[in-house]
Structures are given as C-alpha cells and as structure tokens.
Structure 1
Amino acid sequence: MNEPQRKPHNTTLGARGEEIAAIYLERECDWIILDRNWRCRDGEIDIIAYDDEDVVFVEVKTRSTAFSGDPLEAVDFHKLRTLQGLATRWVTQQKGYIPSYRIDVIGICFGGQAPTLTHIEQVFHDW
C-alpha cells in the first residue's frame, strides 16, 4: 500500500517546523545535528542529533494553528514503534561506537506572533 501524498502546504509547513527545530537544537541546546530527513524504505527520521551523551532521534510535528490540534498528539504508539525501528536501523548502519540513544519529540505551532515550540525529551530511551 502506498503512503498518502502530503499536500504542498503540509510539506512546506513541515519543512519550516523542522528548520525551526534544528535551529533550536543547535543554538539553544548546543546539540550537533548529525543528519536531517534520513530515509530508508520503512520511513524517515526528521532530525538525528548528538547532545554530548546520547544520539537523539527527533520527530518534529508542526501545526499551522492551535485549532489544528496539539502537534504532540500526532505521535501515537504506532508512530513511536516506527521511530524505534528506524532508530535501530540507523544505529546498526553506523560503523563506529554508538553511545546510548533516545527519541525526543518537538511540537511546533504557528498561529501567534511567533511559533511556539515544545520539546519532550526521552519518549523512548534504549537503556
């Protein structure tokens, strides 16, 4: 079954949200961005970063207004399981030592003077 095509507005909105998230992680959190929009046949990881302890796989969800719903609600159990599988695949493809890794979620909502950003850390950790 083919995945539904995203509308151009959603693609542009998502790209804007991912750019804001990457800037936030680099400037505010002082993380190193390792990769963006990493893809394989099973899906995509929006941002892969390093925070001095863990490799962090970041899912970014963006909404145009608060009326569109909380962006964080879009990361359900099924999405989290998919992200875990993608993270495992990325880790196994790396040649060197990978410290522990985790999955974070960033929600971005446009609609006010400035976009709001919510960062939830450790929705999954590989302990």
Structure 2
Amino acid sequence: MNNKQIGNLGEIYAADYFKKYGYIILAKNYTTKYGEIDLIVRQQKMIIFVEVKTRKNDFFGTAGQAVNHKKQQKIIHTAQLYIAQHQNPSISYRFDIIEIYYSFSDQYRLNHIKGAFEI
C-alpha cells in the first residue's frame, strides 16, 4: 500500500470516528486556492476543521508534528474562505488534528488532538 492509499484510509477511519461520536460531516477534502482541509465536521454549535495525518509508526516524530506552522497557515486560510462562504455568527470554530497510526488491515490507533492550533 502506498502513502496516498494509507492517507486515504486514514481519512476514512477519521470520518468513521466522527460519525461514531455524533459529529456531522460537512465536507471532505474541501479545497481552495490556498489549500485543502481533510474534514470539516460539526458538533452542536462548533465547526471543526480537521487535518488527518496517517503514519505507519512514529519513528520520525508524531503524525501531528507534521502539521507545522506553514501547513497550519494553509489550513487557516482555507478555513477562512469556508467561514466567509457559510457565515453564521452563532457558530464557534476549532482546528483539530487526527493522528492515525496504521499497522495492517483494520488495525490502527487513533489520537484526536482537539484545539491543536489557533488562528
């Protein structure tokens, strides 16, 4: 399985996780000229912009550490466009990271980092 396939699988696992806990999936792979947001989910009056990072292991650092300042800025700019298109003053926003460590078939470990970074 190549890295793209592993990444796609991680996004499926992340979406399943959010559905399991009652979140509503608003968008998958939301793309603008600034970048892409893997998942946009909603729980009550909170919209969460989610970056999913899938790795086979953490030998070279955690999956979340791959979301460096430059990547965060791309996500923030993309989220700002989404917010401008879907204005709702009663909604709050948050940026989360889902780390997925994939082993084989359906064996994986998921770590949800809530509020991983801010604007």
Give the aligned partner of residue 50 of structure 2: 58
Normalised by the length of structure 2, the TM-score is 0.88
| Greater shift in the superposed pair: 39-48 or 76-85 | 76-85
Matched, 1:123 2:111: no
Q: Aligned pairs, how many?
A: 117
CA distance in 2, matches of 1:74, 1:100: 25
Give the aligned partner of residue 18 of structure 2: 25
Answer 1 or 2: higher relative contact order, Cα 8 Å, separation at least 6: 2
Q: Deviations over 1:95-121 (max 9, x none)?
A: x52511111000001127720000000
| Greater shift in the superposed pair: 68-77 or 46-55 | 68-77
Q: Matches of residues 1-127 of structure 1 in structure 2 within 5 Å? A: 9-27=2-20, 29-67=21-59, 69-94=61-86, 96-97=87-88, 99-111=91-103, 114-125=107-118
- Which AA in structure 1 matches 2:68? D
Quick one: structure 1 residues 97 and 118, their matched pair in 2 at CA, closer, same or farther if it must change by over 3 Å? same
| Identity value in percent | 34
Q: CA deviation at 1:47?
A: 0.2
CA distance in 2, matches of 1:69, 1:86: 26
Normalised by the length of structure 1, the TM-score is 0.83
Q: CA deviation at 1:125?
A: 4.8
CA distance in 2, matches of 1:76, 1:53: 27
Q: CA deviation at 1:124?
A: 3.4
CA distance in 1, matches of 2:28, 2:53: 14
Quick one: structure 1 residues 45 and 101, their matched pair in 2 at CA, closer, same or farther if it must change by over 3 Å? same
Q: CA deviation at 1:82?
A: 1.4
CA contact (8 A) 1:18 1:60 kept: yes
Please tell me the root mean square deviation across aligned C-alpha atoms, in Å: 2.0
Unaligned runs of 5+ in 1: 1-7
Unaligned runs of 5+ in 2: none
CA distance in 2, matches of 1:15, 1:68: 21
Q: CA deviation at 1:77?
A: 1.4
Q: CA deviation at 1:68?
A: 5.4
